[in-house]
Amino acid sequence: MRTKCLIIGSGPAGYTAGIYASRANLMPIIVEGPQPGGQLTTTTEVENFPGYFDGVEGPKLMEDLRTQAVRFGARIISGLVTDVDFSERPFKVVVDHGKDTLEADTIIISTGASAKYLGLPDETKYRGMGVSACATCDGFFFRNRPVAVVGGGDTACEEAIYLAGLASKVYLIVRKDYLRASKVMQKRVEENDKIEVLFNTQTVGLEGGELLEKARLVRFKGTPQEEEFTVDVEGFFLAIGHQPNTKLFEGKIELDPQGYIVTDGKTTRTNIDGVFAAGDVADPVYQQAISAAGMGCRAALDAEKFLMLNE
C-alpha cells in the first residue's frame, strides 16, 4: 500500500493531521497504534477543548475527531508500527512485524507520550496489583479502599479528585511544598475532604503480599526533620508526567536529550526531509490536546507544501 501521507499515531495531533491531509486530497493513512485515540481515551472530563463549552468525555472527543478524519477520507489501520526506514523516499513503514508494509511520500509522527514511573523496583512487582498510571482505567478496583496519587500537577489533581469519588481516602504525595497544578484544580483538591495532601514527601518503597498494602514514604528528605512513615494504601497511582514515545525512532531521526523529536523552528519539519512530527512526541512544553491538534494541522500543511515542491 502506498500513500502520499502516512500518519503514525492517533491522538489529537494524528487525527487532526488526518482531517487536514484528507481535505487536501493526500488520501492519508493513519496507523492507530497500541492505544487508539491516545491518552485522552483514559481521561474523564475534558473542560478546556474549545467548542465543547459544557466539557466532553475524553473518549467521546477522540471518537469525534476520528469520525471527522474518516468523513473526509482518511483511512485507518489498526496496528502497531514496528519498524521504519527513512533512508530514502518513498519511506517504508512496517506494521505489526510485517502484517502490512506501507510506503509513504511523507510521514507525520504523532506517537504521543506515555506515563512515567518512579523507577522503584516494587512498582514493577505491583503493576496491575495496585500500581497504575491511569485512575480512570483502574480506579474502579479501589472502591471504598485507600489509595495514593503521586505528583503535584494537573494530572495528579485530576486523578485524585476522580479517585476521591470512589476510594475511601486519597493521599496526594507531592515532593515539593506546593502544587504545580492550575489554581482551579488546587482549589478542588483543597475542598475535597477525602484528599489529604502530603507535601515535601517522596515514596521510597511499596509493601504488601501479592497485592499492595502500604507505601513507605519519607518527608523532608535530606534535612534534619527527615522522617520515614507508611500509609495504608491498596492503590498507588502515578501522575508524574510523561515521556515521548520515540523508542522506534532512535538513531533514525534527531531527538533531544529527553527523547522528544526535534522540529525546525516554527515548522513541524524534522531533520529528515518529508518526515514531520506533531503533538506531545515533539512538544515537551505545552502538552495539551488543543496544542497537539494545532500541531497536527501544521504538520499536514507542511506535508502538503513539501509534496507540492517535491512532486
**Catalytic (active-site) positions:** 134, 137-138
161: helix, coil or strand?
Answer: helix
- Contact between residue 296 and residue 14 where contact means Cβ atoms under 8 Å apart: yes
Q: Which is nearer to ligand NDP, 148 or 239 (CB)?
A: 239
Cβ 117 to ligand NDP, closest distance in Å? 9
Q: Where are the beta strands (DSSP E) in the chain?
A: 2-8, 29-31, 45-46, 56-57, 75-77, 81-85, 91-95, 100-109, 113-115, 131-132, 146-150, 169-173, 195-198, 201-208, 212-219, 227-232, 235-238, 242-244, 275-277
Q: Which is nearer to ligand NDP, 230 or 287 (CB)?
A: 287
Q: Which is nearer to ligand NDP, 92 or 175 (CB)?
A: 175
Q: Which of 64, 66, 34 is nearest to 49 (CA)?
A: 64
Q: Which is nearer to ligand NDP, 155 or 246 (CB)?
A: 155
- Let me know the angle formed at the C-alpha of 280 by 88 and 287, rounded to the nearest 5 degrees: 155
- Residue with nearest beta carbon to ligand NDP: 153
Q: How far apart are the C-alpha atoms of 134 and 147, rounded to whole Å?
A: 13
Q: Which of 202, 204, 201, 157 is nearest to 179 (CA)?
A: 157
Sign of CA dihedral 98, 101, 106, 108: negative
Hey, which residues between 263 and 292 contact ligand NDP (CB under 6 A)? 287
Task: Name the one range near ligand NDP by CB under 6 A: 5-13, 153-161, 225-233, 296-304.
Answer: 153-161
Q: Taking CB under 6 A as the rule, does residue 156 contact ligand NDP?
A: yes
Q: Taking CB under 6 A as the rule, does residue 151 contact ligand NDP?
A: yes
Q: Taking CB under 6 A as the rule, does residue 155 contact ligand NDP?
A: yes
Backbone angles phi, psi at 283, to 5 degrees: -135, 90
Binding-residue pattern over the window 160 to 199 for ligand NDP, x denoting contact by CB under 6 A: ---------------xx---x-------------------
Q: How far apart are the C-alpha atoms of 23 and 181, rounded to whole Å?
A: 37
Task: Name the one range near ligand NDP by CB under 6 A: 121-129, 164-172, 214-222, 235-243.
Answer: 235-243
Cβ 6 to ligand NDP, closest distance in Å? 27
| DSSP H or E run through 64 | helix 58-71
Q: Which is nearer to ligand NDP, 117 or 141 (CB)?
A: 117
Cβ 150 to ligand NDP, closest distance in Å? 6
Q: Which is nearer to ligand NDP, 85 or 229 (CB)?
A: 229
Which cell is 43 given? 481521561
Hey, which residues between 24 and 53 contact ligand NDP (CB under 6 A)? 47-48
Place of cell 493521599: 171
Task: Name the one range near ligand NDP by CB under 6 A: 61-69, 81-89, 99-107, 151-159.
Answer: 151-159
Binding site for ligand NDP (CB under 6 A): 47-48, 118, 150-156, 158, 175-176, 180, 239-241, 287
